[in-house]
Structure 1
Amino acid sequence: MEGLASGVTGLIVGAVLGLLASVLFEDLLKGQLQRVGSFARRLRARGPLPVSSEEFRLGPLHTPLVIVEGDGEQVINEQSVRLVVDPVDVRVPDEMAPWVEEIRAAEESKKAQGLPHFWNGPNYAVTSLTVSRTMIDESPEICLHLAHGDYFTFLAGQQLDRPFADGSTPRSRYLTPNDPRAAPAFMCCSFGTNVAVVTSDNLLVVQQRAQQVGSQPGTWSSSANEALSRQLDSRGRTAPDLYDVMRRGIAEELSIEKSEYHLEMLAVVIDAERQQWGALFVAFLHELTAEDVLQRRSRGVPDKWEHDQVEFVRFEIEPVVRHLLRADRREHWSSVGPPLFYLSLVRRYGRSTVERRTARILRSLS
């Protein structure tokens, strides 16, 4: 009997141990399968490796603007911006010189017929940019080196895909895809300032560029913009001031004086598709509301012809980001509009908050 009892006990103990082992093994196996499944799902979700690009992207929205310096959080102060002018004229290659003369003849013909035309205003060509940091708080300092350019040279340089006799083009011969800063000066005869204006009742001013402007006509863009001009922005022998260029643009396009807002420079940028340099600003109006802005515009502004429409967007993260991502608007932004408005949000609400809420919006749209 004793042997029988011990045998039964052994069977029971063995069965229990076997059950425990199977449960433990099953749990271990389940855990391994779950981990493998989770890894496989992550691999499927990742898809192909992303293509490296410095151009601005916001989910499905892409513009060819490269932010060279600036992140929206740190302002590039007026005292930290220096422009150095080398008073020599940039020269186009011999093969492109006839293009400039073609443009000159075409615009003079339009003028003689009383048609809309461009005039060859003296401007600046960007030769290089130097970026450094202050010793105390590491805030950005920039030095922009300029030479003398003109508008017809700029228009000739915009024919980036026009073939030379050997079949090459200005784009293939002179532009480096990975570094738009390396382009020769005659390809950089343009520097534009753009601003996001936020009214005192917290509305963002968005304008549509007119069809007759020379660059990106018909697109929705910044609140105001102004090109750097040798004739208007050089005071005697002194170099121009980018903040003053932007103030001139705000006055000419919105009839708002510099005492009526606080202006901050957010970034230096390059449109890599058109090889156009620029600076991005945000202006916070002290007292003027959106209705005040509309009324001023209705009473006449010098450069009202440069824009066809104006609209207002609540200057909060979700309304602005969703406005940028509207399906009917994504392909109709200028290269500068979305990056400018996004950095302006960062300036007001902070990068981490803007990035986090933007990620949530992008997930909801996918």
Structure 2
Amino acid sequence: MDSSSTPQVITCKAAVAWGAGEALVMEEVEVSPPQSLEIRIKVVSTSLCRSDLSAWQSHAIFPRIFGHEASGIVESVGLGVTEFKEGDHVLTVFIGECMSCRPCKSGKSNVCQVLGLERKGLMHSDQTTRFSVKGKPVYHYCAVSSFSEYTVVHSGCAVKVSPHVPLEKICLLSCGVAAGLGAAWNVADVSKGSTVVIFGLGTVGLSVAQGAKLRGASRIIGVDNNPKKCENAKAFGVTEVVDPNSYIEPIAQVIKSITDGGADFSFECVGDTDMITTALQSCCDGWGLTVTLGVPKVKPEMSAHYGLFLTGRTLKGTLFGGWKPKSDLPSLVEKYMNKEIHIDDYITHNLPFDEINKAFNLMKEGKCLRCVIHMPR
């Protein structure tokens, strides 16, 4: 494409969700040109995250194109974009970094006021959609919508990477793996010799385990009732696994019993507000810290006895592990390339784009960690 030409509408294949829990349908979609401060990306690889599954199963906005863990190549840029050019390799991110709002400049938060969580299925810049099928608008998801051969994102929701980085691997850093590592490092600041308990041994929980192991935690206890997940947990740093179904007493009491009063750090990676209370109860008095990473599908409100906090426990929430995407993701990519962190082992399945419904079924059945979906070249 001539860099001086004006980008035109692209027609391509996308997996469109028309209703809650309905199989995705391969549709011919029209993808509008990028507007001011936007870029259009040819998606190379994208992985399925549990939040995609949860939103698909709920009564969310439809029709919609899901997907947010992705890597690709810039196809065209909109007016005002100076950071990217055609041909650049990029990671997409579901929260952006405008670099100029109060949180972005504070150094205290990664929740950008301008490019924070997208909740309405529309572009940040003008509250419209860039997708349509036969003239009918199709909505975005998490500011990315990577289950499409081409997508449009705000330039603040993409991170440039070296062309030597394997795009089919690092797409996992767009969400799950980065979120888990950041929760252990940035949010909890796990200390050497500490005891850690992790509720939920999916990709996020096992990434917390990797982060805790690299920080020198002495015990990393994984809690999950899926035997398939428990089998491989030790390969990611988990030192022991607890199945709640094997005990009569509440699992929080079990954890307190085997840790002499509770863990130093507990992480809720399930997306269950009752589990947040259990995680709080499982960490110790005085300095016990609980970090919640999961996004609940139902019952968003939580309750906990005030005494848990009166005795010194702390509860913290985190989005994307506290990472500022543009500022921090390049260093994570570098750590991967230097073999300081592991990503490949989280990929349990690789599927072509036209088998995307199989990926959803594998995750529904608890048979995968991350399934990477490869787009046609």
Relative contact order: is structure 1 or structure 2 higher (C-alpha 8 Å, sep ≥ 6)?
1
Higher share of residues assigned helix: 1
- Larger radius of gyration between Structure 1 and Structure 2: 1
